[in-house]
Amino acid sequence: MKDLGKKIKKDAGHLKDKIEGGVQENVGKATGNQEMELKGKVKTKVTKAKEKVSDMKEDVLEKVNDKIDEKDRKSKKK
Q: Do the beta carbons of residue 15 and residue 45 sit within 8 Å?
A: no
Domain boundaries, the chain: 2-77
pLDDT per residue over 19-57, tens digit each?
999 999 999 999 999 999 999 999 999 999 999 999 999
Contacts of residue 27, Cβ cutoff 8 Å, sequence gap at least 6? 33, 36, 40
DSSP 1-41: -HHHHHHHHHHHHHHHHHHHHHHHHHHHHHHT-HHHHHHHH
Say if pTM beats, i.e. exceeds, 0.85.
no
Tell me what pLDDT residue 2 has: 61
Q: Rounded to an integer, what distance in angstroms lies between the CA atom of residue 15 and that of residue 8?
A: 10
